[in-house]
Amino acid sequence: MRTLNLGILAHVDAGKTSLTERLLHAAGVIDEVGSVDDGNTQTDTLALERRRGITIKSAVVSFTVGGADGVTVNLIDTPGHPDFIAEVERALGVLDGAVLVVSAVEGVQAQTRVLMRTLRRLRIPAIIFVNKIDRSGADPGRVLRAVAERLTPDAVPLGAVRAPGTRAAAFVPYGPRDAAFLSGLAETLAERDDALLAAYVAGGPALSHGRLRRALADQTARARAYPVLFGSAITGAGTDALLAGIEELLPAAEGDAGAPASGTVFKVERGPAGERVAYVRARSGTFRVRERVRFGPPEQPEGREGRITAIRVFDRGGAGPRAALTAGRIGTVLGLPEARIGDEIREAGRPGPASGARGGGWFAPPSLETVVVPRRPAERGALRAALAELAEQDPLIALRQDDERQEISVSLYGEVQKEVLQATLAADHGLEVTFRETTTICVERPAAAGEAVELLGQDGNPFVATVGLRVEPAPPGSGVAFRVDAPLGSLPLYVYKSAGELAEAIGGTVRETLRQGLRGWEVVDCAVTLTRSGYVSPASTARDFRLLTPLVLMSALRRAGTVVCEPVHRFHLEVPADTVAQAVAVLGRLRAVHGGTAWRGAWCELEGDIPAAEIHRLERQVPALTRGEGVLETSFDRYRPVRGPAPVRRRHGRDPLDREQYLLHVARRV
C-alpha cells in the first residue's frame, strides 16, 4: 500500500481541525466527529488547545483511503495562527502534499497567502479546499475569484456548489458529460503539456475525461496545477470528493525500502516518563528497534550516536508499536535523548548525505522578544529548566540568559504566543510567570570590510596561537559564511585531523561570537575569512584558537563597523473608501511607508511597509478605524537600517569587546 504524508494548512479559524475530524470519520477511523468548541478532537490533544479552541502543536493522525490497494494517509494538522508558524515550517519539510483550507465566508486571508506562497516556492503539490459552504455569507464564486487573483492563477475548480449559505449546501463534482468543464480543463492543462496541446488543437475524441484527469494528476503532482474542491467539515458536504481527490491527485511518498536508512526529525516532545520522543519521517531504508543510528544537523556529518529502544508507527488513527519504520512512513522513535528538530537520522557507520528533507527558513524568524520573570524569585532555576525543555520542542524560542542580571529572554512571533507560553508554564510546570514589555529583535550588518590579527608571542596575547580574520558584508539573507584563506602549513593539524575540522571548529566559534555584535544584536549577512594562523607544537591547543578567535573577530568588526537593522513587514490594508484619510494618517504615525493605493468600488486597498514594532498597534486600531470592516494582511519582508539612534541590546556572558573583562573571565574559568 502506498503512503502519503499530507499536511492540512490554513489561516486560523478556516476549519482545518474540523476538516481533519470529518476525514477521519469518513475513513472509518472514528465513530463520531469531534468538535473544536467541545474540545474533543483527535488532534488538539493539549488541554490548552482545547480550552482556547486553536491548534498550537502539529499533530499526526493516520487513515486509509481506497481499500487494500489504496493509500495510507499520514495527516499532519498544523496551527493556523501566525504566532505558531514555526510548527508549520517544520511540518513542510516532511510533506508529500497538502490541503490548503480556505473559508467560503472570510475567503483568502493573510496567512492563506503566506502559506500558498511557500507551497509554490517549495513545489509541494496541493489541493485547495473551500470550507464552510453551509455558513451564512458563504460566496463560493467570490472566493474562487480571490483564489485565482491572490493565491494562484493555476487554480482548477472541479465542481460547483448548490444552495451555498444553507444547511443544504452541497458540492456537485463535474463529470464526463460537463462539456464546458472539459473544454476549460483541456485549455488550462494544454498550456503546460505539448502533447496535450497538440491533441487539443487537433480536436476529436483524443481528449477524453480520463486522459484529462490523468493529466491533471500529473500537473498537480508537479505543483503546476491546484485543484479546487468545495464542502463543509460540519455537514460532511464534499468530504467524499476530497478523499477521492487526495487519493487520485496527490503523489504518494517516494522512498526505496532497500536503500540505506535515512530520515528527518521534524518534531520532539516529552513522553509520560520524561523521555524524549522524536517524530521521524523515514525517507529511505528501514529503521529497526535495537538498531544503532547516527543523528545530527545536516551540516555536521559525524553527528551523535544512539540506539533505538522503541518505535511507534502511525496507522488508522494513532501510533502503534512496531519493530520497524520503513521508507515513506512517519513514526515516533525513542532512545535518542539528544535528538533535536531538524536532525537527519541514518544507519550508524554510514556517511551523512542529505536525506532529501527540505531545509527550513521559509518563514521569517521571530521578530519580538520579552523577558520571562518568575513570580517567586526562588523558582528561577526551575523556570530555566522548563524553558530549556520547551526550547527542545520549539528551537525558535531561542533562550538568552543573562547571568549577571538573572534574566531569561525568549523570542516570540506575537502576543498570543506569549499568553500560550504563560499558560503552558503554569499547567505543565506549576510556574507562575509574568513578562516584561515586548521589544523588537534587530540585527546588525557589517558596514564595510575590516581586518585584525593577533600574533603568537605578541604583547597582550596570552594564547599560544596566531589568528587573523577579515570581516566583509555579504548579500542580504546570506547569513554568516566562513572560509579559510591561510596557508596549510600554518594550520595546527596535529590538534585537528584536517584543515576542514579546524575550519569547522573556528567557524563554530565565529558564529557563536557573532550572536552579539557591537550593539548587542546578532550579526548577519557577512563573510568571515581566516587570513592567518600560527602555532607552536606541542604547546598550542584547540582551546587557544577558540579563546583567541572572539577577540580578533570583534576587533575586525569594530574596524568594519555595523549598521543596526529592524524587521519590516509588507502590509495590505483594505478599508471602506470614506475612511482612507484616517487610515493614511494612522499609518504615518506608525512610521509606515505608503507604497500604493487601488480603488475598488466602495473599497480602497493600501499597500506599503511598516516596522514590525508597530504591527500590533496597527492591528488594534484597524477595527475602530474602519467600523470593524477593515482587513489587514502583513508578512515579513526584510530588514532595513534603523532611522535615528541605533537601539542597543544589553550583552550577556563574556564580552570580547571588553578585552580586560574577557581575559579575566577566561582566567577565572581556568
Instruction: Examine the pLDDT at 352 and tell me if it is beyond 60.
Output: no
**Over 50: is that where the pLDDT of 353 sits?**
no
Residue type (1 letter), 414: G
Distance CA 427, CA 10 (A): 27
| Whole-number pLDDT of residue 364 | 63
Q: Is 239 helix (H, G, I), strand (E, B) or coil?
A: helix
With a pLDDT cut of 90, the percent of the chain lying above it is 36
The DSSP code for 400 is E
What is the average pLDDT across 375-388?
90
Q: What is the CATH number of domain 444-560?
A: 3.30.230.10
Q: How far apart are CA 141 and CA 107, in angstroms?
A: 10
Reported as a single tens digit per residue, the pLDDT across 283-293 is 889 999 999 99
Residue 56 has pLDDT above 70, yes or no: no
pLDDT at 400: 82
The domain defined by 566-641 folds into: Alpha-Beta Plaits (3.30.70)
Tens digit of pLDDT for each residue in 466-497?
999 999 999 988 889 998 887 766 666 655 55
CA separation for the pair 420, 316 (Å, rounded) = 30
Residue 87 has pLDDT above 70, yes or no: no
Q: Residue 290 gets which letter from DSSP?
A: T
Whole-number pLDDT of residue 356: 55
| φ and ψ at residue 384, rounded to 5 degrees | -60, -45
pLDDT of residue 95: 85
Query: Residues with Cβ < 8 Å from 516, sequence gap 6 or more?
Result: 522, 649, 651, 652, 653, 655
pLDDT tens digits for range 420-450: 788 888 888 899 999 988 888 999 999 999 9
Q: Quick one: pLDDT at residue 361?
A: 52
**Can you tell me whether residue 382 is helix, strand or coil?**
helix
Residue 79: band (very low, low, confident or very high) from pLDDT cuts 50, 70, 90: low
- Residues in CB range of 59: below 8 A, 6 or more apart: 42, 43, 44, 45, 76, 77
Q: What is the pLDDT of residues 586-626, one digit of tens each?
A: 999 999 998 888 887 888 989 999 998 888 889 889 888 88
Cβ pair 656, 556 in contact under 8 A: no
| Closest residue by Cα to residue 327 from 613, 628, 638, 2 | 2
> Which whole number is the average pLDDT over 168-181?
92
Question: pLDDT grade, residue 341 (50/70/90)?
Answer: confident
Q: How far apart, in whole angstroms, are the C-alpha atoms of residue 551 and residue 534?
A: 16
Per residue, the 3-state secondary structure of 168-188, as one string, reads CCEEEECCCCCHHHHHHHHHH
Q: What is the pLDDT of residue 362?
A: 47
Could you list the beta-strand ranges (E) of 84-207. Answer: 97-103, 126-131, 155-157, 159-162, 170-173
State yes or no: pLDDT of 526 exceeds 60.
yes
pLDDT > 50? residue 45: no
Give the model's confidence band at 52: pLDDT under 50 very low, under 70 low, under 90 confident, else very high.
Answer: very low
The answer to whether residues 242 and 16 touch, using CB atoms and an 8 Å cutoff, is no
Across the chain, mean pLDDT equals 84
111-115, 248-252, 448-452, 520-524: range with lowest mean pLDDT: 111-115
Buried b (16+ CB within 10 A) or exposed e, 613-631: bbbeebeebbeebbeeebb
Q: What share of the chain has pLDDT > 70, as a percent?
A: 86
Domain spans, the chain = 2-175+225-249, 262-347, 368-441, 444-560, 566-641
pLDDT digits (tens, 9 = 90+) for 390-422: 877 666 677 887 777 788 888 877 777 788 788
Widest CA span of the chain, in angstroms?
89
Q: What is the pLDDT of residues 188-232, one digit of tens each?
A: 888 888 888 887 777 655 578 888 999 999 999 999 999 999 999
User: Cα separations (Å) of 665 from 233, 275, 669?
Assistant: 61, 36, 6
Q: Please tell me which of 12-16, 226-230, 291-295, 348-352 the model is most confident about, judged by mean pLDDT.
A: 226-230
Q: Does domain 2-175+225-249 have CATH number 3.90.1640.30?
A: no
pLDDT band at 60 (very low <50, low <70, confident <90, very high): confident
Q: For residues 667 and 575, give the distance between their C-alpha atoms in angstroms, rounded to a whole number.
A: 62
Average pLDDT over residues 112-122: 83
Chain centroid to CA 108: 20
**Grid coordinates 476529436 are at which residue?**
204
By three-state DSSP, how is residue 334 classified?
A: strand
DSSP letters, 507-539, are HHHHHHHTTS-TTSSEE-SEEEEEEEEE--TTT
User: Cell 467600523 identifies what position?
Assistant: 627
| Statement: residue 363 has pLDDT above 70 | no
CATH superfamily of 368-441: Elongation Factor G (Translational Gtpase), domain 3 (3.30.70.870)
Highest mean pLDDT pick, 57-71, 122-136, 267-281? 122-136
Q: How far apart are CA 59 and CA 560, in angstroms?
A: 47
Q: What is the pLDDT of residue 118?
A: 81
Please tell me the predicted confidence (pLDDT) of residue 342.
80
pLDDT digits (tens, 9 = 90+) for 624-660: 888 887 878 777 888 999 988 999 998 888 899 999 9
HSE-up (13 A, CA, CB side) for residue 562 = 27
Averaged pLDDT, 76-82: 65
What is the mean predicted confidence (pLDDT) over 569-574?
88
379 has a pLDDT exceeding 50: yes
Q: Where are the beta strands (DSSP E) in 441-479?
A: 443-446, 450-454, 466-473
Contact assessment for residue 268 and residue 279, using Cβ atoms and an 8 Å cutoff: yes
Higher pLDDT, 397 or 170: 170
Phi/psi at 131 (nearest 5 deg)? Answer: -95, 170
pLDDT given at position 243: 93
pLDDT tops 90 at residue 253? no
- Give residue 80's pLDDT: 52
CA atoms within 13 A on the CB side of 36: 19
Task: Decide if 1 contacts 68 (C-beta within 8 A).
Answer: yes
The pLDDT value recorded for residue 491 is 65
Report residue 363: phi and psi, to 5°: -105, 165
Length of the chain as a residue count: 670
Per CATH, 368-441 and 566-641 having the same topology is answered yes
HSE (side-chain half, CA atoms, 13 Å) at 570: 11
Contact status, residue 410 vs residue 372, Cβ threshold 8 Å? yes
d(CA 394, CA 206): 53
Of the candidates 634, 118, 3, the one whose C-alpha atom is nearest the C-alpha of residue 359 is 118
The CATH class of the 262-347 domain is mainly beta
Cell numbers 472541479: residue? 158
DSSP lists the bridge partners of residue 270 as: 276
The Cβ-side half-sphere exposure at 452, using a 13 Å CA radius, reads 17
